[in-house]
Amino acid sequence: MNKTIRRASAFCLLLVLALLGRATYVQFYDGRALADNEHNRRTTIAQYAHPLGNIIVAGSAVTGSERTDSGDLAYKRTYTNGDLYSAVTGYSSQVYGATQLEGIYSDILDGTNPELKNPIDAVTGKQTSPGNVLTTIDPDVQKAAYQALGDKKGAAVAIDPASGKILGVVSTPSYDPSKISGTTDGAAWKQLTEDKDQPMVNRALRQALPPGSTFKLVVASAALEDGLYSSVDTPTDSPNPYPLPGSSTVLRNENASAPCKNANIRTALEYSCNNVFGKMAVDLGQDKVKAMAEKFGFNASKLDVPVRAAESVYPSTDYTSQTALTGIGQFDVTATPLQMAMVSAALANDGVLVGPHMVSKVTDADGDTLKSFANPSSTRVVSSSTARQIRSAMRTVVDQGTGTNARISGVEVGGKTGTAQHGENNSKTPYAWFTSYGKDSATGKQVAVAVMVEDSGAERSEVSGNGLAAPIARKMMAAALK
């Protein structure tokens, strides 16, 4: 063989090896990226070629699949009581993707998760039956919250303090995910995304707003844990009104005749005394209040339930006057309803915060468990003594203070109201908050709740945590404890 032929043969061999190498790379290394590419139509076709698995509430599916009339996508997602459960399920759309539980567990629900495949299926690439996602949601609590919120713009969350199970997650106004699950739902999508009331925003988990006076529970906890005051019945050193340090402004109380001067923590919570908690935050110092807030879950950049919750924030500031304002849940303090439910849950559970979660387990088509959330993590936030004292003061709020609309006959209920300023110089309608716990000594059941009413359409003078949010919390607690 002459030199020219040998060189040509070697060159051809290199080309063949290069092609084999490229094919191997695409097949075994780049294949997954190509398969997962959002522009790969085959992935969407495969996803909707069969009925999807379901999201389960109390043993019943709140999702389904139906055969399409035309096109290359054989099935589309359907929802039972979609408006009621949208804050739990999210949506699964043939055009717009998937969110919340639908998105997080999409590979379980469409059957592509490797854990669903047996060894033969894994080798052959055979389509496997999809799995299911079982939630912790209590349908009675969910319905109670949804019906009580009604046409108000707001949100509510209920948690079992002992287990961390989320029993209800509601955000209003809501939407029906069925209306955007197909390929011809562009008009519905446009209407939902352009709606000024933002029905697709999950206000329960994904919107953090000033929590107002509900944050006083955190400050009171810090004061007792630090030893600033020995008990909730020890008088404080609190002038009324309280002059904000380094400022010509004084911190006044909504009820000018309330006995807030030097009031103890019990009375200060009962009447929601701003002067007491503003000065308490200053006396403790920003770092101690921040440390307590973070024990309850504030400033956590990653809180998955398993939907990623928005961060609730306790801010840093160089101004003592602003630290005072944080003591009443203002300045730049923000919280989600989930976060404020976590505060009440920890106090109800003797000072221990159990990780909140709204999925109990993920199963395959035969019901075998792939992943369980039966043993969530827990953290001691405050001592048993502090939790017991704060609960006692919260009961006073409900029995005879600003939270009387949350009372339930025969049930131990404690709570805290909040009315948070909104807009520059409080120019807009305030947010109405209520966070609480309920315990039924006869059954041993307990529940923690937080409700936020962003806008009810009521006159500004009629907006209060007791008037708007507490009745909603009462109905949720009654449903959970029945």
Residues that are catalytic = 213
Separation between Cα atoms, residue 109 and residue 107, nearest integer Å: 5
Pairwise CA distance, residues 194 & 187, whole Å: 11
Burial of 150 (0-12, 13-18, 19+ CB in 10 A): exposed
Indicate the length of the chain as a whole number.
482
Q: 390: exposed, middle or buried (C-beta count within 10 Å: 0-12, 13-18, 19+)? A: buried
Exposed e or buried b for every residue in 1-22, given b needs 16+ CB within 10 A?
eeeeeeeeeeeeeeeeeeeeee
Q: Are 169 and 159 in contact (CB under 8 A)?
A: no
Virtual torsion, Cα 342, 344, 345, 349, nearest 10 deg:
140
CA quadruple 448, 281, 252, 344: dihedral, nearest 10: 0
- For residue 456 the two structure tokens come to 């009810």
Tokens of 333: 């303090």
Element (H, E) at 146: helix 139-149
Structure tokens at 75: 């099935």
Whether the bond into 315 is cis, omega within 30 of 0: no
Residue 321's nearest CA partner among 271, 286, 272, 273 is: 286
- Strand blocks (E) in 198-316: 242-243, 250-251
Rounded to whole angstroms, the maximal C-alpha distance in the chain is 110
274's enclosing H/E stretch is helix 274-284
